[in-house]
Amino acid sequence: MIAPQITLVVARATNGVIGRNGDLPWKIRADLQHFKRITSGTPMIMGRKTFESLPGLLPGRRHIVLTRDRQWQAEGAEIAHSVEDAMAMAASVKISVIGGAEIYALFLPYATHIELTEIHEDTQGDTVMAAPGSEWHETARENHPAGENHPAFSFVTLQRPITENTP
């Protein structure tokens, strides 16, 4: 069996902020379009709070929600209670992990790719994520200047070599 390509899809400010009050601290149309391109056709694994922050079910994608709450349920959500259960449910060659911070941390050891939107500013927020470690190598970058209503940002693809030690 081929190991799946597990991609963390995250937007992160220079100071590590990825969220504020259960939402993104910025509204960048190009980032939302980029997110749609990356995740379309893939099962998405997310935490409960991320699922609840979505505007609704996103078309063309499965919504696998990893939660400790055994009673929680929501229409359109497939419920998993462990990383292994979520990956087994996804049963796909490509899996998108879309947050939040705890879910990223749980999946980081399994991830093969990170699709990172670097927001080129320090942003106030209440959810942070550490920068990817030195084992990650940049394979693509697309820079975008600041606009009237958004800071400068870059789309960055990171990969790391798969080793025998990868879970």
Work out the mean pLDDT of the chain and round it to a whole number.
Answer: 94
In this prediction, residue 161 carries a pLDDT of 77
| Segment 57-77, tens digit of pLDDT | 999 999 999 999 999 999 999
Q: How confident is the model at residue 163 (pLDDT cuts 50, 70, 90)?
A: low
Task: Please give the angle made by the CA atoms of 134, 95 and 118, to the nearest 5 degrees.
Answer: 45
In this prediction, residue 114 carries a pLDDT of 98
Instruction: Average the pLDDT over 147-162 and give the result.
Output: 92
Q: How many CB atoms lie within 10 A of CB 114?
A: 22
List beta partners, residue 145.
Answer: none
Sequence ranges of the domains in the chain: 7-41+111-166, 42-93
Report the side by side order of strands in the sheet with 77-80: 77-80, 62-66, 43-47, 94-99, 5-13, 113-119, 153-159, 137-144
Instruction: Average the pLDDT over 119-128 and give the result.
Output: 96
Q: What is the pTM of this model?
A: 0.93
List beta partners, residue 97.
Answer: 8, 45
Residue 162 pLDDT greater than 70, yes or no? no
Instruction: Average the pLDDT over 69-90 and give the result.
Output: 96
Beta-carbon contacts of 127 under 8 Å, excluding residues fewer than 6 positions away, are 17, 18, 19, 20, 100, 101
Q: Which of 87, 97, 95, 51 is nearest to 167 (CA)?
A: 87
In this prediction, residue 99 carries a pLDDT of 94
Q: Are the C-beta atoms of residues 167 and 8 closer than 8 Å to each other?
A: no
Identify the CATH assignment for 7-41+111-166 out of 3.40.190.170, 3.30.1360.120, 3.20.20.70, 3.40.430.10: 3.40.430.10
